[in-house]
């Protein structure tokens, strides 16, 4: 690889936990930070590319949901599986302060604090899934069982 990629916090944590992963890089388009755009750029099935959403629950505080990029989160289902009565998306301006990551580069691995993390249950349908590597322009390619273990994640039916 000609360009050396500086390790992100997510990569350092995966390394520390001896979890194998690959990296895919893509051109960042500031006008389209969507996961669908990333999937198209990388020539991937959008169903195996997961976006990281951060929400606030009325009982548990912050929770993380990772769902396929083209899907819509079912707030009621996430609330139910996370032990909340309701959950709400956090404001974009609060992402950095809560997670340590910026919009478009938020990984479920290596946030400032460990939050309860939930993955849509299709995660186990793939040998490898793609997640933000903790920086815009980088996707981590990892086995579902490994990412579930690294984030102490739970799989659940999270989409509408």
Reported as a single tens digit per residue, the pLDDT across 99-151 is 999 988 999 999 999 999 999 999 999 999 999 999 999 999 999 999 999 99
On whether residue 65 sits in a domain, the answer given is yes
On whether residue 89 sits in a domain, the answer given is yes
Would the pTM of this model clear 0.85, i.e. be above it? yes
On whether residue 8 sits in a domain, the answer given is no
The string of pLDDT tens digits covering residues 68-111 is 999 999 999 999 999 999 999 999 999 999 999 998 899 999 99
Bridge partners, residue 140, by sequence? 23, 131
The string of pLDDT tens digits covering residues 32-76 is 878 888 999 999 999 999 999 999 999 999 999 999 999 999 999
The end-to-end CA distance of the chain, in Å, is 40
- Per-residue model confidence (pLDDT) at position 3: 55
Question: How many domains does the structure of the chain reveal?
Answer: 1
- Residue holding tokens 């992402």? 95
On whether residue 98 sits in a domain, the answer given is yes
Mean pLDDT, rounded, for 10-24 = 95
On whether residue 14 sits in a domain, the answer given is no
On whether residue 7 sits in a domain, the answer given is no
Could you list the residue range(s) of the whole structural domain that residue 115 is in? 22-156
On whether residue 39 sits in a domain, the answer given is yes
C-alpha span between 35 and 66 (Å, rounded): 12
**CATH number of the domain residue 35 falls in:** 3.90.960.10
Res 14 pLDDT > 50: yes
C-alpha span between 50 and 68 (Å, rounded): 4
DSSP letter (8 states) at residue 73: B
On whether residue 48 sits in a domain, the answer given is yes
Express as a percent the part of the chain with pLDDT over 70. Answer: 98
């Amino acid at each position: 690889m000609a360009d050396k990629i500086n390790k992100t916090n997510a990569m350092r944590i995966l390394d520390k936990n001896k979890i194998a992963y690959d990296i895919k890089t893509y051109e960042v388009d500031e006008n389209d930070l969507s996961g669908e755009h990333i999937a198209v750029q990388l020539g991937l099935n959008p169903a195996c590319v997961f976006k990281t959403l951060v929400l606030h629950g009325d009982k548990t505080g912050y929770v993380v949901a990772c769902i396929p990029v083209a899907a819509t989160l079912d707030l009621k289902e996430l609330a139910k599986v996370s032990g909340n009565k309701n959950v709400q998306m956090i404001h974009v301006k609060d992402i950095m302060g809560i997670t340590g990551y910026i919009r478009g580069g938020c990984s479920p691995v290596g946030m400032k604090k460990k939050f309860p993390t939930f993955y849509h249950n299709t995660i186990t349908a793939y040998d490898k899934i793609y997640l933000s590597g903790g920086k815009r322009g980088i996707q981590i390619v990892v086995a579902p069982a490994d990412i579930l273990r690294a984030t102490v994640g739970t799989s659940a039916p999270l989409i509408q």
